[in-house]
Amino acid sequence: MSDDDGRSPEEQPLLRVDGGRGRRMKESKCGRCVSSRACCGLLCCIMITTAIIAAVLAVLISYGIIDKEVDKFIAKQVSLTKGSAATDQWSKPGAAVYMSFYMFNLTNKDEFLNGEKATIKEIGPFVYNESKTKYNLRWNSDETILEYFENTSYIFNKEKSNRLDPSHVNITTINLPLIGFLLQFEKLINISATFPPPINTIVKDLIETIITELNKDFNEKLIMTRPVSEILWGYEDPFLKFVADLLANVTFIDLHKELNGGFFQLEHQTDTAGPNMVYTGKGSPQTTAQYLMYDGKTSITGWGTPYAQMINGTEALLFHPGVSRTDVLDVYVDELFRSGYFTYYKDITEFDIKMYQFRLPQKELQKAYQDKGFYMDGPDGVLNLTAVFPLNVPIFVSKPHFLDADEYYTNDINGPPSNRDKHDSFLNVEPITGAVLHAAKRLQINIQLKQYEDIPDLSHLPINTTYLPLLWVEETGSLNESIASTFRDTVYKPINTIQISAITVASVSGSVGILLLLIFLMVGLCKLEMYMKRRRKRNGETAYVGLNFNN
Q: What is the pLDDT of residues 315-350, one digit of tens each?
A: 999 999 999 999 999 999 998 999 999 999 999 999
**Per-residue pLDDT averaged across 34-40, rounded?**
52
Contacts of 384 (CB under 8 A, 6+ apart): 374, 375, 376, 377, 378, 394, 396
- Among 105-119, 210-224, 352-366, 479-493, the range scoring the smallest mean pLDDT is 210-224
Confidence (pLDDT) at 76: 73
Q: What is the pLDDT of residues 428-452, one digit of tens each?
A: 999 999 999 999 999 999 999 888 7
Backbone angles phi and psi of 364, in degrees to 5: -65, -15
Element (H, E) at 148: strand 145-156
Give, to the nearest 10 degrees, the angle between helix 238-246 and helix 176-192. Answer: 50
Confidence (pLDDT) at 83: 87
Pairing between β-strand 426-430 and β-strand 435-449 as defined by DSSP bridges = antiparallel
Confidence (pLDDT) at 520: 62
Q: Is the pLDDT at 393 greater than 80, yes or no?
A: yes
Q: Which of 179, 185, 220 is CA-nearest to residue 204?
A: 185
Decide: 119 and 468 in contact? Cβ < 8 Å.
no
Check residues 55 and 457 and name the one with the higher pLDDT: 457
Q: Would you state the torsion angle of the CA atoms of residues 161, 89, 146, 330, taken in this order, to the nearest 10 degrees?
A: 60
Q: What is the pLDDT of residues 458-489, one digit of tens each?
A: 777 777 789 999 999 999 998 888 888 888 88
- Among 113-127, 379-393, 479-493, 528-542, the range scoring the smallest mean pLDDT is 528-542
Confidence (pLDDT) at 544: 45
When the pLDDT of each residue in the chain is averaged and rounded to a whole number, the result is 80
**Per-residue pLDDT averaged across 499-508, rounded?**
54
Q: What is the pLDDT of residues 200-233, one digit of tens each?
A: 787 777 777 766 766 676 667 889 999 999 999 9
**Percent of the chain residues topping a pLDDT of 70:** 71
pLDDT band at 193 (very low <50, low <70, confident <90, very high): confident
Q: What is the pLDDT of residues 241-275, one digit of tens each?
A: 777 776 666 554 555 566 666 677 777 778 889 99
